[in-house]
A and B are shown apart, each in its own frame.
Chain A
Amino acid sequence: MDKNLVKETIARRVALEMNDGDLVNLGIGLPTLVANFIPKDINITLQSENGFVGLGPAPLKGEEDKDLVNAGSQPVTILPGGAFFDSLTSFAIIRGGHLDATVLGALQVDEKGNLANWMIPGKMVPGMGGAMDLVTGAKRVIVAMVHTAKGAHKILKECNLPLTAAGKVDLIITEMGVMKVTNKGLLLTELNPEFTVEDIKKATDAELIISYDLKEMRTS
């Protein structure tokens, strides 16, 4: 699959997980794309952890405001009904169970719902930023990522990188399919028709339980 199509496929499928009225935090990168594909009849509010709710799209060229950026330092807008606050309130929202969902990328995720996405020891140490609080506090944690890192497994029996949080992931969405974290392991509920069950099993280190009701992966 083409790289952009891969990202769009994932973002479109994540968008279908949103419910009307949800308050959601989208991570930087691929998860940000989800905002472009929210179904027309669904209204969600986006939180930006640097200090506001009502996050809107990028401004038109020339209309950027230096005092209004997202958590990735990019110029953004705020929608009617939005509000600004300090970092204490921002993390009261995040940690206090007020977020319906958070969507993040991963370096590794495993069949127990463990997530690693903040460092590779000795190699890359960006820091956790708000990710540990988001994963700990949000009602639903959705991992949105490309299924493998250029063929290397990312969905594992057990993460071997330092964790972001233990046992908090609810759902994993990749270009190959949709996997639910259950107490029996990862349940494959939807498969992209571009791939076979064998393809996705091969691309996954964790044991995949194939749902009796396996469906074609939806994108709209």
Chain B
Amino acid sequence: MNKVIDIEKFSNKIKDGMTIMIGGFLGNGTPETLIDAIVEKGVKNLTIIANDTAFVDKGIGKLIVNKQVKKVITSHIGTNKETGRQLNAGELEVVLVPQGTLAEQVRAGGAGLGGILTPTGLGTIVEENKQKIVVDGKEYLLETPIRADVALIAGSKVDKSGNAYHTKSTRNFNPLMATAADLVVVEAEKVVEIGEIDPDVVMTLGIFVDFVVRGETNG
């Protein structure tokens, strides 16, 4: 099945107030073309779930700078001074989550789990208002699953059915986010025919992907 659509058709699917999960690590392995389309459309009040808010001129940072985001769930905002400014000015809600916890919450959301138990955050403000569970004498925090309306991910090589290969350090959150949203769109640095990616090296399964958009950047 050919899932390739053009950028206008993608843009039409993004609405005000949506919760959007975006792959990448400081912009590396982030779907820049999809983000640019959202910036151009100008939808507002988005909730963004992502590892970080990248830089003012790169990745998710562009959505923050354009004031399209009301809430961000993330592990790090330190590389984007505009995120910090909007937080301090009360213009943006920021929920900071340990990186490994965020990854597992997304996995739980995509894997049908009711949450995960982690020792990370015990004895810190991260444990506030969370249930603690003791297993075999060890204490853990219960962290609940995270899902989104839309997941936007980046692939280095993607076949027309959405099977994706993510080269080098661009993999990061991309394969897990593809499992945890109602609508999953992959930006492909290179689109190839079905069958051209060895099934042994498929990292994000096409069965999770709804649409493929050709992109220019994946850096």
With a cutoff of 8 Å between Cβ atoms, the chain B residues found around residue A167 in the complex are 123
> What number of A residues sit within 8 Å (CB to CB) of B?
44
Q: Which of A48, A52, A122, A128 has the most CB of B within 10 A?
A: A128
On whether the beta carbons of A91 and B99 are closer than 8 Å, the reply is yes
Is B119's beta carbon under 8 Å from chain A? yes
On whether the beta carbons of A50 and B120 are closer than 8 Å, the reply is no
Q: Which of A48, A133, A137 has the most CB of B within 10 A?
A: A133
One of A61-69, A143-151, A201-209 at the interface: A61-69
On whether the beta carbons of B170 and A136 are closer than 8 Å, the reply is no
- Chain A: minimal CB distance from B26 (Å): 4
- In the complex, residue of chain B having the shortest beta-carbon distance to the beta carbon of A127: B76
Is B17's beta carbon under 8 Å from chain A? no
Is A165's beta carbon under 8 Å from chain B? yes
- In the complex, residue of chain A having the shortest beta-carbon distance to the beta carbon of B203: A86
On whether the beta carbons of B52 and A129 are closer than 8 Å, the reply is yes
> What number of B residues sit within 8 Å (CB to CB) of A?
49
A36 CA / B38 CA spacing, docked (Å)? 43
On whether the beta carbons of B28 and A86 are closer than 8 Å, the reply is no
Given contacts A88-B107, A126-B78, A132-B120, contact A69 B172 (CB under 8 A): no
Given contacts A50-B28, A86-B176, A95-B119, contact A128 B169 (CB under 8 A): no
On whether the beta carbons of B169 and A52 are closer than 8 Å, the reply is yes
- Chain A: minimal CB distance from B127 (Å): 10
- In the complex, residue of chain B having the shortest beta-carbon distance to the beta carbon of A123: B88
Is A71's beta carbon under 8 Å from chain B? yes
Given contacts A67-B156, A95-B119, contact A86 B168 (CB under 8 A): no
Given contacts A87-B176, A136-B119, contact A130 B75 (CB under 8 A): yes
Question: Of residues 158 to 177 in B, which have CB atoms within 8 Å of A's CB atoms?
Answer: 167-176
Contact with A along B1-15 (1 / 0, CB 8 A): 000000000000000
On whether the beta carbons of B103 and A87 are closer than 8 Å, the reply is yes
- Chain A: minimal CB distance from B85 (Å): 11
- In the complex, residue of chain B having the shortest beta-carbon distance to the beta carbon of A162: B125
- In the complex, residue of chain A having the shortest beta-carbon distance to the beta carbon of B54: A73
9 A-B pairs, CB-CB below 8 angstroms? A48-B169, A52-B168, A65-B168, A67-B167, A67-B170, A84-B168, A88-B103, A126-B76, A128-B75
